[in-house]
Amino acid sequence: DTGVSQNPRHKITKRGQNVTFRCDPISEHNRLYWYRQTLGQGPEFLTYFQNEAQLEKSRLLSDRFSAERPKGSFSTLEIQRTEQGDSAMYLCASSPLHTTLNNEQFFGPGTRLTVL
């Protein structure tokens, strides 16, 4: 399967702990996006990368959140000192090299985070 993959699929953690999620985009997709989806809502944009450069961060991305894409391939999203409000589905998506308006963003299956 050559789609977007995310690991882990589920993560349960205690408040105050750090967690890290990984996203492997479709190979050769140079744009990678992170979204957060809370229960009953649509996904909200968090940040995106073009190759290894992080070009935009939403104000939703507090100082406790950090994302990297060191080699322009996979990306990691780390949440430090997790809070119960961080409980959500974290979705990763990637877009083809020559992104235009009508390029589909290919979404991964998501990582569901539960903070106890």
Give the x/- contact pattern for other proteins in 59-88, rule: CB under 8 A: ------------------------------
Least distance from other proteins to the Cβ atom of residue 45, Å: 5
**Which residue is it, tokens 């977007």?**
4
Within 31-50, the residues that bind other proteins by CB under 8 A are 31, 33, 35, 40-45, 48, 50
Of residues 58 and 80, the one with the C-beta less far from other proteins:
58
Euclidean distance between CA atoms 28 and 24, whole angstroms = 11
69 touches 81 (CB < 8 A): no
Which positions ≥6 away from 11 have C-beta within 8 Å? 19, 21, 111, 112, 113, 114
Count of residues interacting with other proteins (CB under 8 A): 28
Q: Quick check: helix, strand or coil at residue 85? A: helix
**Residue 103 within binding range of other proteins, rule CB under 8 A:** yes
Euclidean distance between CA atoms 25 and 51, whole angstroms = 11
Given the rule CB under 8 A, which residues bind other proteins? 31, 33, 35, 40-45, 48, 50, 55-56, 89, 91, 93, 95, 99-105, 107, 109-110, 112
